[in-house]
Amino acid sequence: MIRIRGMEVYPLKFGPIFKERIWGGQALRTVFGKDLPEGAKIGESWELADLPDDKSEIVNGPLAGITIDKAVEKLGAAITGREDYKPPFPLLIKILDAQDILSVQVHPDPETCRRRGKGQPKTECWYIIDAAPGAVIYKGLKKGVTKEQFAQSIKDGNCDELLEKVQVKKGECHFLPAGTAHAIGPGLLIAEIQTPSDTTYRVFDWNRVDDSGKGRRLHIEDALQSIHFDSSGDDLSVKTVGRLVGSEVFKVDKGHQTAGCEVLFSPGQMKALMVITGRGCITSQATENVDFKKGDTLLIPAAFEGVMQFTSDTDYLTITV
């Protein structure tokens, strides 16, 4: 254990940042017990964020009440494990409740952002926490689709027909690198892990309108300039066990432990934990116990040393950068 300015580092828990979406619902309350605004269509719970207008606030221990960026500024490499760390925090972690279908959209890659002088790159993955029977995602283009064909399909209102439509099930992880056109179908509860960006270019929103009769803004030219037309959806991975994602921007591993088991944390690398099912606590000789349960996201500082103890069978994701 490393002491920094009179404080021992410890596992950090955060208050969720709720986002109301036209396609959201109340599943985050019923499944995870999150304190949602009554009756609101909450589509996203930002579990760990460090964007200009949305910064996660720590809710436990001596650092309670300060945001993730201030904690890193205060404790530096004890959290990140890197002396050369530069903000923002390198992950954005969410839980999505898709009660209705999401728009067809794409996120740019670094080269596109540099070339066009705007936006932030975004690579992501979707871990399927739960899926209604027959639930689908749209994941990349069908092989051979050209920019011209896709542009025409947007005008015709049927661009979804040129995307790979994939039936999904609980426990799958789907990787979507920047430049992949995609959409999430209804009936899905998803853990979304991504690079820290909220740049989204919509190309089609299923002709939906809000209560005032207005449709959401589309970004067709931005999307067409961002999509990778030289790759297709059938090139993208889907995994269910072990190392789920091994990209250069983040890595995701799935763990499962039965009640009574323990996992040791040794100093060395910062990691985030998303608890999908189950519960337990994290203990150390120097700090108070930190309880966890399904729906929690915790940040384990690089300098932390302790034990993760499970009081019930638990599935969880470990995210590293």
Six-digit token string for 208: 């939906």
d(CA 202, CA 183) in angstroms, rounded, equals 10
d(CA 108, CA 119) in angstroms, rounded, equals 7
d(CA 151, CA 170) in angstroms, rounded, equals 33
Six-digit token string for 295: 């729906």
d(CA 261, CA 281) in angstroms, rounded, equals 11
Strands 290-293 and 262-265: unpaired
Helix locations, the chain, DSSP H: 27-32, 68-75, 77-80, 110-116, 147-156, 220-226
Q: Identify any residues that bridge with 293 across adjacent strands, giving them in sequence order.
A: 279
Q: Which of 45, 47, 49 is nearest to 27 (CA)?
A: 45
Residue 217 known to be catalytic: no
Six-digit token string for 282: 């994290």
d(CA 26, CA 109) in angstroms, rounded, equals 32
Phi, then psi, of 143 in degrees rounded to 5: -60, 130
d(CA 246, CA 252) in angstroms, rounded, equals 7
Q: Which of 109, 96, 137 is nearest to 201 (CA)?
A: 109
Contact (CB, 8 A) for 140 and 236: yes
Six-digit token string for 253: 């591993």
Of 5, 202, 208, 243, which is the active-site residue? Answer: 202
Six-digit token string for 58: 């720590």
Phi, then psi, of 188 in degrees rounded to 5: -125, 140
Active-site annotation, residues: 202
